[in-house]
Amino acid sequence: MAIRQNHKKSFLVKESNFFKYRYINRTTNTKTSWKFHQIYFHLLIFLVLLLVGWCFYNQASFINIDNFYQVAKKLALLFSFENKNFLDTSYISNEYTNLFLDTLRLLWITIKLALTGTFIGFILAIITSFLSFNKVNNKFLSYLISIVILILRSTPELIFITLITSTFRNDLSLLLVYIWFTWLWLHKYYIDMLNSFDLQPYYVSINQGNSKFKAFFKEIYPRIKNRVIALFIFSFEANIRWASILAALNLPGIGRLIVYGSENTAHFNQLGIPLLVLMSFILVLELLNYLFKKYLVEARSKVYKQKNETKLEYYTRLSKKLNVNKIIISLIFISLTIISIITFINIPIYIFNLDYVKSFFNNLLNPNFASFSIFNKHIENNPILLIWNSLQFTIVAMFICIIIAIIGIRLQSIRLNNLFIVIICRSLNVLIRLIPTIVYFYVFHPIFSNVLTLVIIVVSLHQASSKAKQLVEVVDNLNIQIINNLKIQGYSNNQIFLKYVLPAIKIEFISLSIFYFELIFRASITYYILASDKLYIGHLIAKYLDTRAFYPRLAMSYVWIGTFAILTINLIARYINKKIRK
């Protein structure tokens, strides 16, 4: 180990080895923490860029400029807003229905089922996240629930959607999908929120003689309830956005019209109306979400001044004041409960194939790995190559997502731009999220020689839009005085962004990036429907679970490979989040 001394200031020495270094102050006998030499960070960055470059090369595609006329033709048909619906009839017979009325009918089905499914999933998530919070409940029970939920979350969505659609039919299948995924995702959000909460008031309440249960609802719940409600609204909005992908996987709802209108150029004239209606509803939903959070969830306290009255009279008057916000939220909760019960009762139960379900569960724990080997050159029989196929997709999409998100944060922050630029950029960001991924794909499909490149661009664009929206909210809450002081010192907006804003949101940025890495990896399995046989795990799961060529044991082997990969990403994400939040 080498020790370098500074002769001018001999009390400070540098202690270093091959990997790390630290400084020692001999006067005070204090030491800094060990740090890696900068060369290793530079080397890591170089290797990461090399890996990203290699993945880009493997996923690259030529642009067919000659086919731009097809894109123009599709856009022209899209904006023609034909009001004839041939989905359930045919062009040959020239029989059609009113597309606008059909759109409203299917939109109502989607809203009704999404609202009911989100609410039931929300209730389940509240229960399981509370039971798995080990600071309040029995540790064995909480760990058991956490492990079960982690395994369920790590299983590819495709497998549950396939199971549900193969067992149930019509509205019930869509409702069950909404319940399932709302429950699993809200559970993750809620338990992460509980684990990151400052528990000092909770422990003080316990020391004052309150039970763990009472201390939780007295000290923790009031501090997180606004966030709990906000996440419920966010989940409902996300479920509506997911309608087109679910329709591509044979689920009902307005997504059926989106998929039918976009998958064939001849049908594009029937895409404009359902797309416009869906986008308008999501836009209204975003506006209601904003108003709900601003005036109900995040409303500020109102000050009631003491008049010519005693303290007892003053407190008595305050106790009689009605909490209007609380009453409105309670009425909304009661209404959702009633709507959910009525919807659930009125949905007809059509069970399609119970033999399929029995075979599924019989083979779930009995996968066939006989033909698999890490030395096999065929990707279908090599688990490493299968995971690497999805990882390449994820790495490239994640890199694009990060770049677009950083640019989006810079242009959408009210702290660093004039109001006009902010309005334009935020409107563009909303528009990107409003248009379903399937529409992007089928519009621009003719100009890409490799469809996988287009899927990567579409997925990364959508995820970057959502990520930028979340991080812009964090940036807008930064200390404005620090930003103004930096401007007074002569820093440009770009310098402030690089030297203050990005470092200030570093933890949130890294944490969200890890989360979106998992989302994109999952998309590499679900979006096989667009990339055909280019995304192998999803393609092979669907191929061998198809009732026309049913090989469940082989399908389960690919399910477990995907589950193992997602589980590993989850565990690594937990470790990194724990390290960066220390």
The single residue listed with the structure tokens 């108003």 is: 291
**Between the ranges 91-105, 120-134, 349-363, where is the mean pLDDT highest?**
120-134
pTM to 2 decimal places: 0.84
Four-CA torsion 110, 116, 122, 124, nearest 10 degrees: -120
Contact 254, 80 (CB under 8 A): no
pLDDT in tens, 174-222: 899 999 999 998 998 888 888 777 778 888 888 888 887 788 878 888 7
Please tell me the distance from the alpha carbon of residue 566 to that of residue 328, in angstroms, as a whole number: 40
- Is residue 562 scored above 90 in pLDDT? yes
Sorted by sequence, the CB contacts under 8 Å of residue 556 that are 6+ apart come out as: 363, 364, 366, 367, 368
Domains defined along the chain, listed by start: 2-36 (no CATH), 49-61+360-580 (1.10.3720.10), 80-301+329-352 (1.10.3720.10)
* pLDDT 10s digits, 434-466: 888 888 888 888 888 888 888 998 999 999 998
Residue 575 has pLDDT above 80, yes or no: yes
CB 521 within 8 A of CB 394: yes
Q: What is the pLDDT of residue 322?
A: 65
CB of 372 within 8 A of CB of 383? yes
Share of residues in the chain with pLDDT > 90 (%):
19
Whole-angstrom distance, CA of residue 383 vs CA of residue 504: 40
pLDDT higher than 60, residue 88? yes
Kindly calculate the radius of gyration of the chain based on its CA atoms and give it in whole angstroms: 27
pLDDT at residue 250 above 60?
yes
Beta carbons of 102 and 85 less than 8 angstroms apart: yes
At 93, is the secondary structure helix, strand, or coil? Answer: coil
For the segment 366-379, what is each residue's pLDDT rounded down to a tens digit? 888 888 888 888 88
